[in-house]
C-alpha cells in the first residue's frame, strides 16, 4: 500500500504518494532547434490551434497517470488485514456518522496507541474530535432523562483524550444534579400525598431552578400531578361524606366513587385505607343480618365488599355460609349435599363464628360416606358402561380426608378398568370383523376401529399388535402390484422404467426391502451394460502395452458401480506391471558427483530404451510421457 494521510478536519483519507512531476511539455528550450523551427513554421502558417490541442493532450495524459498511481481505498470490511493507518481511516469514516457506537469503537481502536506510535499526532486530533462528539451525545441523553446511558457514554472517553477531565467533571455534576432532582421530586410527591399543596409547589420551583430541560419537564409533570391529585382528593372526600350515612347503599356508593380514582394516583393510598374502613362496616352489617336469620340481606351486604380489601375473604366466608344455610332443608339428603358443597368452598383461613362451624360439621355428618359408596355399587350392579360411569361419578365424591376413601378408590379403579376393557373389547371385535374381509377397505376400517384404544388402556398391547399386523397387510396389498409391474418391466428389458416403478415403494413399508433388493439388481445390470465397453477398451489398450491409457480408461468406472472392483483389480495389475517395466528400464546411477551447475534429472523412457549415457546439457522430465504411438521403438512410450 502506498502513502497514507489523516486529514485535520476530523476525517481521514488514504492518499497516494506524490507522483514525480511530469516533465514540462511546454519547455521549448529543451527541444532541438530543428523542431523549434518546424513548430514556428507550422504556427506561422495558421497552425495556432495545435498549441491548445497539445496542452489538453498532455494534461489528460498527466491526469491519467496520476489517477492510475492512486492506491486503492482500504477494505474496511476486513480490518484484520489492514495497516494501522487504514484502520484509523476506517474508524474515522465510521465515526463521522456521529452514532455513539461508532464513536466508541473508534476510541477503542486508538486508546492503546501510545506516544511512540507513528500516527500519534494524527490520532490525538481525531481522538479529541471523537471524544467531543461523544460528550455531546451524552449531554443529549441527560437532557432526555437517561442518566445511566449518559454516564456510560462519558466513561468511554479515554484518559489520553484532552476531553477526559471534562468528561469526569460532567459525570460528577450529572450524578449530583440527578440525585438532588430525584430528592426534590420525591419530596414533592410526599407533599402531594399529605395534601400539603404549598410545599408541593415550592418543590416545583426548586426543580425549575436546576436549569435542565429534563428537570423542567419533571417540574411540569409535578405541576400537572398536583392538579390531578387535588381533584382525586376532592372526589375521595365527597365519597366519605356519602359513607357517613352508614347504610348499605351509602357505603356501596362511596366505595364505587372512590374506586373510580385511578390506581396510579397518590391519593390511591388514602382511597384503599378508606375503602377498607367502609368494607369493615359492611361486614359488620352482614354479620348482624346473619345473626337475626336474614340470610339474603346478609349476602347482599357482604357481596358489596371489593375483592382487594383485607376483609374480602371473611366476607366471602359469610356469603357462602349464608347461602348454605338457605339451601339446607331438614331431612332432605340432597339439600344437605348442596349446603355442604357451598360451605366447603369457604377458604380454610376464613374464621367463622363457632355456631357456623358447628353447622358445617352437622352437614358433613348428614352426608355419609357409606351412602355414597352404596349408591355407587347399586349403579355398578347393572354391569353396563353407563352404569359404571354413574357409579364412578358418585364414588368420586368421597374426598381424601373421609374415612372410606381407600375403599372408594379401589372401587373406582376397578370400575374404570371394567369400562375401559368393555369398550376396548368392542373395538377389537369390530376391527377383527373388518379385517376378516381381507380387503383393502376392510383392513383400513379395522385400523380405524382399533386405533380408538388409547395409550394406557387395558387392551392397548393387544391393539398395538393388531395394528402392526393389519398395517403390514395393507402395505402388501397396495405395493405388491407395484412390485409385480416393476418385475414385468425388468423382464421385458426396460430396467430404467422398472427402477422408477419400484422406487414408488417408500421406506418403512412392508415390501420396501424386497423392492430395494430388486432395484439393486437392476441397477447392477444397467451399470454392467454401461461400463463393460470401458473395461473392454481398457483390456484392449493393456494388451497393446499402453498401460497408462488402460488405467485412465478403467478409472472412469467410479466407486459404487457394478464393475468398480473388477476395474480396480485390473488397474492394480497394470500399475504393478508398469512399475516393474519402468524399474527395469531405469539406468544405474553414476558414481561421480554431478557438477554444481548441472541439474540432476531422470531420463525419459525414450532415452532409456535403448540405454544411452545421460547428457548434462539436457534438462530431462521426471515422468514418462503418455503417448498413443504404436510405432516400433522404445516400449516405454506406451505406458
pTM of the model: 0.34
Spatial separation of the C-alpha atoms in residues 343 and 330, rounded to whole Å: 16
Q: How would you classify residue 385: left for phi > 0, otherwise alpha for psi between -120 and 50, otherwise beta? A: alpha
Picking from 183, 156, 425, the residue whose alpha carbon sits closest to that of residue 191 is 183
Residue 253 pLDDT: 92
pLDDT in tens, 103-138: 666 666 666 565 655 655 566 676 767 777 777 777
Residue 420: band (very low, low, confident or very high) from pLDDT cuts 50, 70, 90: confident
- Phi and psi for 363 in degrees, rounded to 5? -65, -35
Residue 315 pLDDT: 83
Decide if pLDDT at 65 tops 70. no
Decide if pLDDT at 261 tops 50. yes
* Residue with grid cell 498532455, as numbered in its chain: 58
Under 8 Å between Cβ of 191 and 203 = yes
Residue 142 pLDDT: 64
Decide if pLDDT at 93 tops 80. no
Residue 247 pLDDT: 92
Decide if pLDDT at 598 tops 50. no
Under 8 Å between Cβ of 380 and 388 = yes
**Average pLDDT over the chain, rounded to whole?**
72
Residue 471, class by beta-carbon neighbours within 10 Å (0-12 exposed, 13-18 middle, 19+ buried)? Answer: middle
Domain boundary assignment for the chain? 35-69, 79-230, 245-366, 389-458, 477-528, 533-584+603-638
Q: Identify which has the larger pLDDT, 356 or 11.
A: 356
CA distances from 390 to 21, 150, 248, 610 (A): 110, 71, 46, 110
Architecture in CATH for domain 245-366: Alpha Horseshoe (1.25)
* Residue with grid cell 519402468, as numbered in its chain: 582
* Residue with grid cell 397387510, as numbered in its chain: 473
Residue 218 pLDDT: 82
pLDDT in tens, 459-498: 778 888 888 888 888 888 888 888 888 888 888 888 888 8
Residue 618 pLDDT: 34
Residue 70: band (very low, low, confident or very high) from pLDDT cuts 50, 70, 90: very low
Residue 435 pLDDT: 82
Decide if pLDDT at 278 tops 90. yes
Above pLDDT 70, what percent of the chain? 62
Amino acid at each position: 500500500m502506498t502513502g497514507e494521510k489523516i486529514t485535520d478536519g476530523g476525517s481521514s483519507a488514504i492518499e497516494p504518494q506524490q507522483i514525480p512531476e511530469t516533465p514540462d511539455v511546454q519547455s521549448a528550450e529543451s527541444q532541438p532547434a530543428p523542431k523549434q523551427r518546424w513548430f514556428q513554421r507550422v504556427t506561422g502558417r495558421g497552425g495556432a490551434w495545435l498549441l491548445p490541442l497539445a496542452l489538453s493532450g498532455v494534461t489528460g495524459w498527466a491526469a491519467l497517470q496520476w489517477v492510475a498511481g492512486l492506491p486503492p481505498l482500504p477494505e474496511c470490511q476486513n480490518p484484520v488485514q489492514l495497516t494501522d493507518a487504514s484502520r484509523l481511516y476506517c474508524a474515522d469514516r465510521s465515526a463521522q456518522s456521529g452514532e455513539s457506537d461508532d464513536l466508541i469503537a473508534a476510541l477503542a481502536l486508538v486508546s492503546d496507541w501510545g506516544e511512540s506510535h507513528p500516527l500519534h499526532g494524527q490520532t490525538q486530533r481525531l481522538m479529541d474530535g471523537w471524544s467531543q462528539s461523544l460528550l455531546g451525545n451524552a449531554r443529549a441523553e441527560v437532557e432526555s432523562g437517561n442518566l445511566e446511558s449518559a454516564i456510560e457514554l462519558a466513561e468511554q472517553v479515554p484518559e489520553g483524550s484532552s476531553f477526559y477531565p471534562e468528561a469526569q467533571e460532567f459525570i460528577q455534576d450529572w450524578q449530583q444534579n440527578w440525585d438532588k432532582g430525584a430528592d426534590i421530586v420525591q419530596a414533592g410527591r410526599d407533599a402531594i400525598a399529605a395534601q400539603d399543596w404549598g410545599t408541593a409547589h415550592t418543590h416545583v420551583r426548586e426543580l425549575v431552578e436546576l436549569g435542565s430541560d429534563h428537570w423542567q419537564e419533571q417540574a411540569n409533570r409535578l405541576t400537572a400531578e398536583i392538579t390531578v391529585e387535588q381533584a382525586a382528593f376532592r372526589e375521595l372526600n365527597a365519597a366519605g361524606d356519602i359513607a357517613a350515612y352508614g347504610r348499605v347503599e351509602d357505603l356501596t356508593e362511596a366505595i364505587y366513587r372512590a374506586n373510580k380514582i385511578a390506581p396510579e394516583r397518590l391519593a390511591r393510598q388514602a382511597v384503599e385505607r378508606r375503602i377498607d374502613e367502609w368494607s369493615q362496616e359492611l361486614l359488620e352489617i352482614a354479620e348482624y343480618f346473619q345473626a337475626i336469620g336474614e340470610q339474603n340481606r346478609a349476602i347482599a351486604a357482604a357481596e358489596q365488599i371489593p375483592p382487594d380489601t383485607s376483609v374480602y375473604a371473611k366476607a366471602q366466608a359469610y356469603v357462602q355460609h349464608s347461602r348454605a344455610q338457605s339451601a339446607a332443608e331438614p331431612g332432605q339428603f340432597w339439600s344437605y349435599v348442596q349446603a355442604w358443597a357451598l360451605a366447603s368452598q369457604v377458604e380454610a383461613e376464613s374464621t367463622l363464628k363457632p355456631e357456623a362451624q358447628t353447622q358445617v360439621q352437622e352437614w358433613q355428618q348428614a352426608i355419609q360416606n357409606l351412602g355414597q359408596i352404596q349408591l355407587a355399587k347399586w349403579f355398578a350392579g347393572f354391569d353396563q358402561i353407563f352404569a359404571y360411569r354413574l357409579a364412578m361419578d358418585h364414588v368420586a365424591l368421597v374426598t381424601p380426608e373421609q374415612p372410606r376413601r381407600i375403599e372408594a378408590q379401589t372401587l373406582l379403579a376397578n370400575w374404570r378398568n371394567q369400562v375401559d376393557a368393555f369398550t376396548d373389547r368392542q373395538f377389537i371385535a369390530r376391527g377383527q370383523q373388518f379385517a376378516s374381509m381381507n380387503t383393502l377397505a376392510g383392513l383400513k376400517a379395522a385400523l380405524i376401529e382399533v386405533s380408538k384404544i388409547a395409550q394406557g388402556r387395558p387392551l392397548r398391547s393387544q391393539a398395538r399388535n393388531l395394528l402392526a399386523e393389519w398395517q403390514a397387510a395393507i402395505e402388501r396389498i397396495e405395493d405388491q402390484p407395484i412390485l409385480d409391474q416393476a418385475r414385468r418391466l425388468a423382464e421385458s428389458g426396460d430396467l430404467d422404467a422398472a427402477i422408477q416403478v419400484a422406487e414408488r415403494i417408500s421406506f418403512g413399508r412392508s415390501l420396501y426391502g424386497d423392492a430395494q433388493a430388486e432395484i439393486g439388481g437392476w441397477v447392477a445390470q444397467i451399470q454392467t451394460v454401461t461400463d463393460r465397453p470401458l473395461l473392454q477398451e481398457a483390456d484392449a489398450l493393456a494388451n497393446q502395452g499402453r498401460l497408462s491409457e488402460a488405467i485412465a480408461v478403467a478409472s472412469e468406472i467410479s466407486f459404487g458401480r457394478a464393475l468398480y472392483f473388477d476395474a480396480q483389480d485390473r488397474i492394480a495389475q497394470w500399475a504393478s506391471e508398469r512399475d516393474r517395466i519402468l524399474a527395469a528400464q531405469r539406468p544405474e546411477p553414476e558414481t561421480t558427483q554431478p557438477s554444481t551447475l548441472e541439474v540432476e534429472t531422470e531420463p525419459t523412457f525414450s532415452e532409456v530404451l535403448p540405454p544411452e549415457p545421460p547428457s548434462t546439457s539436457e534438462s530431462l522430465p521426471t515422468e514418462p510421457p503418455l503417448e498413443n504411438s504404436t510405432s516400433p521403438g522404445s516400449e516405454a512410450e506406451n505406458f
